[in-house]
Amino acid sequence: TPFHQFKRNIINDANQVNNQTYDYIIAGAGIGGLITANRLTEDENTRVLVIEAGGNGDDVRERIDIPAQAYLDGLPVDGSPYDWAIYTEAQSNLNGRNLHWPRGKIVGGSTAVNALYMTRSTKDQHDAWSELIDDDGWNWDNLLPYFRRFETFTTPKKSLEKNLSIEIEHSAHGYDGGIQISFPQYNYPQNGLWQPTFENLGIDSDNDPFSGQNIGGYITPNSIDPDTQLRSYAASAYLYPIETSRSNLVVLTDALVTRVNFDTSSARPKANGVSFRANGNNDEFQAHATNEVVIAGGTLGSPQILLQSGIGPRENLESQNVNVLVDLPGVGAHLQDHISATVEFSTTAPVGGSLSDSELDEQLEIFREGHFARSLYSTPNGAIAYIPLEDIMGDETSTFLDQLEANMTDATSSGDDPDEVKAGYRATYESDLENVYKAGNAVVEILMNNLGSNLGFQLALQHPFSRGKIYLGSSDTSENAKVDPLYLSHPADIQLIRNGLKYIRRLAATEPISTMIRDEVSPGLGTSSDDDLDDYIRNSAVSQYHPASSCAMLPEENGGVVDSQMRVYNVDNLRVIDSSTIPLPVAAHHMQVTYAICEKGADLIRGYQKASDSPSATDSESGASLSKHFNGQLLIMMMIIASIVNGL
């Protein structure tokens, strides 16, 4: 198997960049960092330095590249050097538990360690986002070209399309981007039962969930290269192809950005470089930027860098003896995440996940030999469903909506939030209420997981009303910032999860998936009253690993951190380009939306407001590649017809 090979301008000796000057410096080599670096260095005269806290991943190549390693021998486990080891503060609504929030500390960021599900946020969500920030550039029509820009979609074989009830709208896809999206060659036997079960529950899934509408049950594709069957991720798409050819790009690994530095000689501070620690010791190094500094540390890293640079809520900064450069209350606020709970069932037939260690070794060997269709290492699985409020709440829907209107005051994450943050909280709350809850859009996701010999159905809240925060708990820059998601602090959230678990019981009793189900193992049928279900949720709920919004793109008076150009308020030459800028919850896993907004962010730096004006615009955005795709198919059909005719 041709695993990714590195040989290039990725270095880990800080002395080589210490006190050097670049046009742009980027903190973090996740999606935002690598896309921005790639796009800016398309101009050979632009010099870019990327600084990444983690390593390059060469020593764990197989565990990154082989898709199902994400589950079977994942990198983000306790004690892994490739995980930031972030634990939330004790959650009072989860019986005092501290939840693990894995995050990739490695070139590629979390895309090197994640579960490869490719799901897309929807039209209504992006239109609501653009309204909140009052800029059409962020609505669905204008963002769709950026979704298409990063993607090369491979249409599945007709037989798979039929077996898994896959619908494809070709115009929603891209065909020449760096991220490969395909359906794995191995499929769990229960996948074919998934979509028909939702049809029987009255939920039609006859649309492509990439097309702007995602209600229904689907087998979703993965970020897998169809030729090699390896993970396709930020590094393989945006770094490897250019790593030796662009001498204007340097990536420094194993170096922690501790703060952004500023020229404060004029009224508005101007970012002009960064400080960082590297070479395995506490020495501090610096590098200088003449044009801009881009923070791309993700939802947890970016607010921490801003706070340590003196940009954030005054009270928090002063409590940690950080000089206040700009009192910006929204930094770290608005934090939201998809919280989830699972109902687990024993099964009537093997589900594929119940292999012994030696059987797993055998499966891995089969993958290494290239027999992908026979190895469960080929698939992270993709059975997924998005369900609207009425199906979850049934007769209680209108009462529930009335309560949401009435409980608006419960929304603020804590009574002492600054007024701007409260205003933003209300704005996003109202937006979700109108555009999601009342509009029939999906409020929960259900995922089918293979848990040993059992099947688990994981219910994840997609539009939570609870909001938390990230803040500095120490002046020591090597310590992670404090993370307090304040899960279930709004009463609607637990009500929805509880009803969602009841819905899963109906799902498990519906044909054809019911033919696979034997007994409920957890929480077990004895757990049936609302109080008992709530206890179960408080004891077992976990994160779906989709934190966002800690540097939200909102107006400044709504506690925003960046404007619609992704520029940090009240300073010059500083942007945040990553998942932390997402202002509203989205009913999707976060990889796709992050790729799209970061492609747009790179265009904004270069001064392109419209995707079509950008030098990086692809054939897919103009439709040319789509017609190439169809011409190719047409050619194959003509050849088949010709051979039949000749045969006759």
In the complex, which residues of this chain contact ligand FAD (CB under 6 A)? 27-32, 51-54, 76, 102-105, 109-111, 113-117, 256-257, 297-298, 301, 305, 545-546, 578-579, 589-592, 594
Among the options 126, 173, 463, 546, which is catalytic?
Answer: 546
Residue 302 Cβ vs ligand FAD, minimum distance, rounded to whole Å: 7
Residue 54 Cβ vs ligand FAD, minimum distance, rounded to whole Å: 5
Residue 267 Cβ vs ligand FAD, minimum distance, rounded to whole Å: 28
What string of H, E and C letters represents the secondary structure of 521-538? EECCCCCCCHHHHHHHHH
Other CB atoms within a 10 A radius of the CB of residue 527 amount to: 16
Residue-wise DSSP of 369-390: TT-GGG-GGG----EEEEEEHH
Residue 178 Cβ vs ligand FAD, minimum distance, rounded to whole Å: 15
Residue 410 Cβ vs ligand FAD, minimum distance, rounded to whole Å: 27
Instruction: Report helix angle 397-406 to 491-508, nearest 10.
Output: 160
Residue 597 Cβ vs ligand FAD, minimum distance, rounded to whole Å: 9
For ligand FAD, the closer CB: 332 or 523: 332
Residue 222 Cβ vs ligand FAD, minimum distance, rounded to whole Å: 8
CB 446 within 8 A of CB 459: yes
d(CA 421, CA 557): 8
Residue 546 annotated among the catalytic residues of the structure: yes
d(CA 238, CA 251): 12
Let me know if 511 is exposed, middle or buried by CB neighbors in 10 A (0-12, 13-18, 19+).
Answer: exposed
Among the options 463, 589, 590, 629, which is catalytic?
Answer: 589
Instruction: Single out the residue of 610, 405, 604 nearest to residue 492, CA to CA.
Output: 405
For ligand FAD, the closer CB: 115 or 307: 115
For ligand FAD, the closer CB: 454 or 592: 592
What string of H, E and C letters represents the secondary structure of 150-205? HEEECCCCHHHHHHCCCCCCHHHCCECCCEEEECCCCCCHHHHHHHHHHHHCCCCC
Q: 163 Cβ partners below 8 Å, 6+ apart?
A: 187, 192
For ligand FAD, the closer CB: 39 or 105: 105
For ligand FAD, the closer CB: 33 or 523: 33
| Token pair listed for 357 | 């260690």
For ligand FAD, the closer CB: 69 or 347: 69
For ligand FAD, the closer CB: 115 or 333: 115
Q: 593 Cβ partners below 8 Å, 6+ apart?
A: 120, 121, 579, 582, 586
Token match 């848990």: residue? 451
Residue 253 Cβ vs ligand FAD, minimum distance, rounded to whole Å: 9
Instruction: Single out the residue of 578, 337, 313 nearest to residue 420, CA to CA.
Output: 313
Residue 629 annotated among the catalytic residues of the structure: no
d(CA 208, CA 294): 35
Residues 478-483: contacts with CB under 8 Å, at least 24 apart: 478/256, 478/277, 478/282, 480/84, 480/85, 480/86, 480/300, 480/304, 481/300, 481/303, 481/304, 481/307, 481/332, 482/89, 483/86, 483/87, 483/88, 483/89, 483/101, 483/300, 483/335, 483/547
For ligand FAD, the closer CB: 109 or 352: 109
SS3 577: coil
Q: Which residues are catalytic?
A: 546, 589
